[in-house]
Structure 1
């Protein structure tokens, strides 16, 4: 079974290009206002879908103008309607994004209906949870909903992935139900609650987190690739040689492709190569969901296929 269940947010993104990101109190002139479909949950679900996985997105979407367009788009993209709850009481989520020429960005999210996705919404889709599948969630939804999804998936012998973004302190119960954590570098520092440069010895700094449950922590490093940290070792995965023009959605593409690769039965080394290629290709194209690459393009850049086991023992 190559099923991926994504529990998370779905938004409409309003993106503006600026010459420089504003500092505190500064006003900058923008150009090229563009509307994109986004939200970390929806982005990751569609990324996994494009990688050939059987995907269910569990989300709550308002029925206002933005929400109707968003729900229709997700269904037209191939996601089952079964996981998408219509919310008549709260507006759909919106994200306001500033992007500078180098691709760096600032994002403000107004969660709307995403903030009302509940554990009951997750339990309503319990029939989709099955051994061998992968659960992927993030923190643009209530923490108790993410926790309920992780715990249900764990009880069903699924692999669980938590992308701790935007960062919030994680409880022991959430960490115990998480197999793989995928923070970026800033989130990894927050996980350690340390002012030190944890990248000098990430295995040591992250050991207390790994002791609470996760089997591994994958730190995404942007143009520097990714770092896999386990209790025994750490492994750097170089970035794919692609020029970034817009990093919006690149982390989501990484996570979605990683989940899809795990669902396809890839070795972790090959899964990370595929995930890195997905993130790089997304960063090379403006937009979020519009920029998500195809399975074929990811496999060409990564040099491996989804389902590849690799050679020899996957180092843990």
Structure 2
């Protein structure tokens, strides 16, 4: 590994359209909102920014549309230090967008229109495969076609690059897919969809993690929000309690976690420390509004780790 871990992210690039209201409407009802904003997002782009903010050398592979949002999305990634040489512009297709509604409880409801993200294909991945040479990790999600992610995972594995997979938004995976992932990182609801096991706490989350490993994933990590994070690997299992913070906006917490986890593992941190590092990053994300602009820097993460040491 070089002085800075090199992370390749293949995934979605969206513009988030965010509205807040005291309460969300029921079917057929109109409510008066409190605020509206646009902000660059997409799980892939968010995770790329999260890793870059923590000091990684990040290369993004993806697509934007030839619309108003495309240049804005590329400029935002570059401003955060993400290399976008392998992000293509797709003629005649809109960029991906996500309509996000937030209520007074700061819970989020999201509708995604993937647009150009769905034009990602195996040809693009093959053409961009050179960026995997010497990479320390490949980070994937599920907002582009699954076949494309699996193609990239196969290329990475053949080059000896570890593959981290965030199965969001959740969808059932074909059985052979699990073996493509060195690390799989679902949240509570995603773990339930993938395994069919109700996940309502630490013990059931560990059960789900073991099922994911039995299907072929190398390490399984399940995020439980206020109940923390559990992890299961060949040589260890454990639970990392949640950090105590005041939540303002939960939209991109999982993306902050995934990006930070990729960085920590690429740096060679032991699994338990890497999970705790990622949990601290995710906790900081929820203390501020937005997605990419909410991603913390390394000093902030280390300060939170020091302020809330884990009981031993």
For this pair of structures, how many residues does the alignment match?
304
Cα deviation for residue 233 of structure 1 reads 5.2
Q: 1:298 aligns with which of 288, 292, 301?
A: 301
The residue aligned with 1:63 is 66
Does residue 170 in structure 1 map to residue 160 in structure 2?
Answer: no
- Alignment deviations for residues 193-242 of structure 1 (CA, whole Å, 9 cap, x no partner): 23575854444444343122212211111122211123565311011121
- Alignment deviations for residues 132-180 of structure 1 (CA, whole Å, 9 cap, x no partner): 6101110011111111111111111111111000011112332111011
The residue aligned with 2:215 is 212
The residue aligned with 1:88 is 91
Q: Contact 1:9–1:40 (CA<8 Å) still a contact in 2?
A: yes
Q: Contact 1:93–1:114 (CA<8 Å) still a contact in 2?
A: yes
Distance across 1 between alignment mates of 2:290 and 2:64: 21
Consecutive unaligned residues of structure 2, counting only runs of 5 or more, are 308-312
Distance across 2 between alignment mates of 1:290 and 1:196: 31
- Alignment deviations for residues 46-87 of structure 1 (CA, whole Å, 9 cap, x no partner): 000011111111110112101121112222322223121111
Residues 46 and 69 (structure 1), Cα distance of their counterparts in 2 relative to 1, 3 Å cut: same
After TM superposition, the score normalised by the length of structure 2 is 0.92
Does residue 239 in structure 1 map to residue 242 in structure 2?
Answer: yes
Name the SS of the counterpart of 2:85 in structure 1: helix
The residue aligned with 2:152 is 149
Cα deviation for residue 264 of structure 1 reads 1.5
Distance across 1 between alignment mates of 2:114 and 2:121: 14
Q: Contact 2:7–2:135 (CA<8 Å) still a contact in 1?
A: no
**Counterparts of residues 262-273 of structure 1 (less than 5 Å):** 262-273=265-276
Cα deviation for residue 267 of structure 1 reads 1.3
Name the SS of the counterpart of 2:154 in structure 1: helix
The residue aligned with 2:310 is none
Q: Contact 1:203–1:231 (CA<8 Å) still a contact in 2?
A: no
Distance across 1 between alignment mates of 2:199 and 2:279: 27
Instruction: Tell which deviates more after alignment, 258-267 or 200-209.
Output: 200-209
Q: 2:258 aligns with which of 248, 255, 258?
A: 255
RMSD: 1.9
Distance across 2 between alignment mates of 1:45 and 1:63: 21
Residues 151 and 303 (structure 1), Cα distance of their counterparts in 2 relative to 1, 3 Å cut: farther
**Counterparts of residues 77-226 of structure 1 (less than 5 Å):** 77-130=80-133, 133-194=136-197, 199-226=202-229
Distance across 1 between alignment mates of 2:258 and 2:63: 21
Residues 262 and 128 (structure 1), Cα distance of their counterparts in 2 relative to 1, 3 Å cut: same
Distance across 2 between alignment mates of 1:273 and 1:195: 24
After TM superposition, the score normalised by the length of structure 1 is 0.91
Consecutive unaligned residues of structure 1, counting only runs of 5 or more, are 305-316
Does residue 7 in structure 1 map to residue 31 in structure 2?
Answer: no
Residues 170 and 117 (structure 1), Cα distance of their counterparts in 2 relative to 1, 3 Å cut: same
Distance across 2 between alignment mates of 1:102 and 1:152: 42
Q: Contact 2:183–2:218 (CA<8 Å) still a contact in 1?
A: yes
Q: 2:278 aligns with which of 263, 267, 275?
A: 275
